Structure 1
């Protein structure tokens, strides 16, 4: 049962998926708070949270970025439903949440001011395709923000338990983002080993 629960980290489904999403919204709160300390949220803008999970970060950005539209995208149907419930008061007003693929975003070229990805790139099957697609939808001079609790591939505590999970070092992601055409990439870590990256389009 515990193993089945951990598999819902990648793509939450059913009752265990709902339980995982509840855990994500609370369990990742401290990480998100730390990450947001490095992120300047633009007001009156269009923000996209990729791999939105339970929707807690969408709710925070709707609150902290006045006048902005904050959308969410996740490949899990359960996550989309949960995130919609979390942000029900803003759906159809300042927020749209849909099921989709990070490598095929449903937005026109240069239409987004900020893309965020919290605790999700571990499960992206093709980083290059995802980074290229995110760069496509970002306006020139805008940012792509990544935040992860782990960036040490030698630590297999979770990769041994969760199918399809891959941990990347921050420096490796920096290089991949630069290769994808991002201009500058800032890397931050703390004493817990948390990592965030801010890439300029």
Structure 2
């Protein structure tokens, strides 16, 4: 089972595809809640980091019908599934590519907003990653982070998934400030749900 759970971190093969499908369904309520705090213009260019199975890209394409949504993930399996999930608009209103959050493959100021749903747990150097996110956002652009787990003392998942770190909301807020983000706001949802927004 532990090897199957590793696909939560980087989906690969059959079990990776199963995990991605489960995430698309299981994370939908959390994502819908978090996305209510995303402020983006109608014609925005939005980056979804750690796009997984592509459900959040699809949701943003529906919510912002004049916008362009780009997804990036370091799992080739995730990239494939995100492309399949959004194939109707691929190449016109969305794109998905493979990439690492620590060295995002985009120019400075390329995006109006960036999102990270259920993914910061797996970023090996969050301070460096946050600085990269800030680099690819235009001045004033919004960064949205949404996490289901926010209690570092709860080892329910970290004991099963190698390389996973759960951060408290205050830890993430501090990391955002150190990376140069302004106006960081932390919101609490049900259970351990947290949502953070900040401006580049």
TM-score (norm 1): 0.97
CA distance in 2, matches of 1:55, 1:66: 16
8 A contact 2:39–2:142 mirrored in 1 = no
Give the equivalent residue in structure 2 for 1:179: 178
Give the equivalent residue in structure 1 for 2:8: 9
Any idea what the Cα deviations from partners look like across 1:26-57, whole Å, max 9, x if unmatched?
A: 01001101111222232101100000000000
State which drifts further: 40-49 or 8-17.
40-49
CA distance in 1, matches of 2:44, 2:38: 14
Any idea what the Cα deviations from partners look like across 1:168-192, whole Å, max 9, x if unmatched?
A: 0010111111011111100001231
TM-score (norm 2): 0.98
Give the equivalent residue in structure 2 for 1:168: 167
8 A contact 2:73–2:99 mirrored in 1 = yes
Give the equivalent residue in structure 1 for 2:27: 28
What root-mean-square deviation, in Å, do the aligned CA atoms of Structure 1 and Structure 2 show?
0.8
The aligned runs of 1:94-109 (5 Å cut-off) are 94-109=93-108
8 A contact 1:41–1:64 mirrored in 2 = no
The aligned runs of 1:1-201 (5 Å cut-off) are 2-201=1-200
- Residue-pair matches, total: 200
Any idea what the Cα deviations from partners look like across 1:84-115, whole Å, max 9, x if unmatched?
A: 00000011111110110001111111120000
CA distance in 2, matches of 1:30, 1:67: 24
- Report the alpha carbon displacement of residue 126 of structure 1 after superposing the two structures with TM: 0.6
- Report the alpha carbon displacement of residue 4 of structure 1 after superposing the two structures with TM: 1.9
8 A contact 1:51–1:118 mirrored in 2 = yes
Q: Which runs of 5+ in 2 are unaligned?
A: none
Any idea what the Cα deviations from partners look like across 1:92-142, whole Å, max 9, x if unmatched?
A: 111110110001111111120000000000000111110111101101111
CA distance in 2, matches of 1:165, 1:42: 33
CA distance in 2, matches of 1:42, 1:154: 38
Instruction: Please give the secondary structure, in 1, of the residue aligned with 2:32.
Output: helix
